[in-house]
Structure 1
Amino acid sequence: MKDTPDILCIGSVLWDVIGRSASVMRQGSDVPGRITRLPGGVALNIAMTLTRFGLTPALLTAIGRDAEGDELIAACAARGMNTDCVYRSDDLPTDVYMAVEGANGLIAAIADAHSLEAAGAKILRPLSDGRLARTGAPWDGPVALDGNLTLSLLSEIARSPLLAEADLRVAPASPGKAERLLPFVQSGRGTLYVNLEEAGLLCQTRFTGSRDAAAGLLARGASRVLVTDGGADATEGRPDGSLTRTPPQVLVTRVTGAGDTFMAAHIAAERDSAAPDDALAMALDAAASYVSGETAL
């Protein structure tokens, strides 16, 4: 593993407990299926995809100093991620995400990221103590940031000199946390990766398609956005124009982590100097491969 990471992944690193069934489900459904427990969290999902593109990501997160945390750290290191800068807490448990998916998509999910929220700015210490950067010599590479952090910490990051020179890429983690990204919209900071619902929440309206959603976010002050809409068109929006592509049509076998895969693949494509249209196409292809089950977990 390289000593210097290619990208920082800041946010949730936890255990994903996912129940999946081939049946169509509704509230109260009790059906057969499979339950898996795998390393997950938005920051980790992005990092895992980046390693498949040959990059070495460093994780900035909070993980408990418990048996689950030790196992999670080992799993991350085994997958090619740099865990040297992870904040290990003696009194906070390792976080967990739990979801239920049916043939008709995500039924329900609960993200218990309370330890990450409680750790707060402690996870950013490596950006000022010399391990990754220091005051006067900030990190100037790419950063993937997720919205599982608190609104106050995200607001601080949006204006922090520690990341003022970074290529900041931001995802909301879930529709329920989409409005935590408002500081980045208002400050015109970073590239935002959102789905159609999340774009609507940030703009306090409802959009009918990704192109309208991208335009709405730009009008609110965002500097650059990528808006996905499941199997429908996805759009990259910039002040100088927009780009829309239709993703490949595939049989959907899973949905948790699809947006993270899209974001990571797009970052990797641009790092390899792909043209905007090619980068968007590569990201959509990677997400389609993931939801179809072709990409291994």
Structure 2
Amino acid sequence: MTSKPDILCIGAMLWDVIGRSTRPMQAGHDVPGRIAHIPGGVALNVAIALARRGMRPAVLSAVGTEPEGDALVAQSVRLGVVIEHILRDPDLPTDCYMAVEDNAGLVAAIADAHSLEAAGDRILAPLDGVLKGWDGPVVLDGNLTERLLAQMSADPRLAQADLRVVPASPGKAERLAPLIAAGRGCFYLNRLEGEILAGIPCADAVTAAEAVVARGARRVIVTDGGERVADAMAGQPTLTATPPAVRIARITGAGDCFLAAHLVAEQAGAAREAALMAATQAAAAHVAGKDLP
């Protein structure tokens, strides 16, 4: 039976392989630590965080039919994510993300989202079927190709949707340019991603958020590690919030947690300032490891 979702998360659904050490690391280091193999990908991370907050998120993505894909689907169901609408293709292996983190944060990462890219607009097929006429919130993930994101910026099937857009990484930030040009969506960026999209150096989150709005974005929310967070909106004052200081337990997924908490707060009717504070607190708790299952 197909479950009716209340939000769509479109993008990467994969396995995260995260190695963490409490020691500082540099290139070539070999240190003791812990390695976790957990469900991940921006779209799935956001969906899991939304499910924890009482929403019914559905993911539109591509997952292989091998044992790794079956296990990922089973875990996602257990975590409260609606998976009936994903594309299962025996010719596309389940994607994977690998990262190394030390006591200061991310050291390096590699994202293998080739199957998602190869699937292309086939992952959107449910918008012509059981999800036709969708007018609720939609999270778009920068792991999608620039071509597909450009197509989605003018897709009539998403014309009434509340788009929430996240780059996935600085290396993929430029893929969001068509959505900015179209004036669609609320963008969730870190400061480096903001600099890339603005095309200029930015000293802080406020500068980055306002610069991307000046390029045509309707609304931009920028985080900057433990520094001030900014919410800039065309024609409105820019708001800020300062994250609480926490001891770093993990970094991967913090931005996805921020987005989920912010979206849930706004869906519940919170004002911009309250939603920004709720998201900032949630991301800090994630970094501190306080929301680990």
Q: What is aligned with 1:132?
A: 131
Shift of 1:165: 0.3
Q: What is aligned with 1:66?
A: 66
Report whether the alignment pairs 1:267 with 2:263.
yes
Q: What is aligned with 1:282?
A: 278
Task: Provide structure 1 residue ranges, at least 5 long, that are not aligned to the other structure.
Answer: none
Aligned length: 292
State the alpha-carbon separation in 1 of the partners of residues 22 and 200 from structure 2.
33
Task: Provide structure 2 residue ranges, at least 5 long, that are not aligned to the other structure.
Answer: none
Report whether the alignment pairs 1:217 with 2:216.
no
State the alpha-carbon separation in 2 of the partners of residues 90 and 226 from structure 1.
38
1:1-297 matches, cutoff 5 A: 3-128=3-128, 130-133=129-132, 138-239=133-234, 240-297=236-293
State the alpha-carbon separation in 2 of the partners of residues 89 and 113 from structure 1.
14
State the alpha-carbon separation in 2 of the partners of residues 145 and 186 from structure 1.
16
Contact 2:57 2:81 in 1 (8 A): yes
Q: What SS class does the counterpart of residue 261 from structure 2 fall into? A: helix
Q: What SS class does the counterpart of residue 22 from structure 2 fall into? A: coil
Large movers: runs of 4+ above 4 Å: none
Shift of 1:2: 8.4
Deviations 1:234-279 (A, max 9, x none): 0000012210111111111110000000001000000000111110
Q: What SS class does the counterpart of residue 165 from structure 2 fall into? A: strand
State the alpha-carbon separation in 2 of the partners of residues 220 and 201 from structure 1.
12
Q: What SS class does the counterpart of residue 115 from structure 1 fall into? A: helix
State the alpha-carbon separation in 1 of the partners of residues 218 and 179 from structure 2.
9
TM-score (norm 1): 0.97
State the alpha-carbon separation in 2 of the partners of residues 76 and 228 from structure 1.
27
Contact 1:7 1:142 in 2 (8 A): yes
Q: What SS class does the counterpart of residue 244 from structure 2 fall into? A: coil
Shift of 1:184: 1.2
Contact 2:165 2:187 in 1 (8 A): yes
State the alpha-carbon separation in 2 of the partners of residues 253 and 107 from structure 1.
14
Contact 1:19 1:36 in 2 (8 A): yes
State the alpha-carbon separation in 1 of the partners of residues 193 and 13 from structure 2.
21
Shift of 1:209: 0.5
State the alpha-carbon separation in 2 of the partners of residues 51 and 275 from structure 1.
22
Task: State the identity as a percent.
Answer: 54
Q: What SS class does the counterpart of residue 189 from structure 2 fall into? A: strand
State the alpha-carbon separation in 2 of the partners of residues 160 and 229 from structure 1.
32
State the alpha-carbon separation in 1 of the partners of residues 267 and 104 from structure 2.
35
Q: What SS class does the counterpart of residue 198 from structure 1 fall into? A: helix
Contact 1:2 1:56 in 2 (8 A): no
Contact 1:158 1:183 in 2 (8 A): yes
TM-score (norm 2): 0.98
Q: What SS class does the counterpart of residue 228 from structure 2 fall into? A: strand
Q: Please, what is the CA RMSD of the aligned residues?
A: 1.0
Contact 2:100 2:109 in 1 (8 A): yes
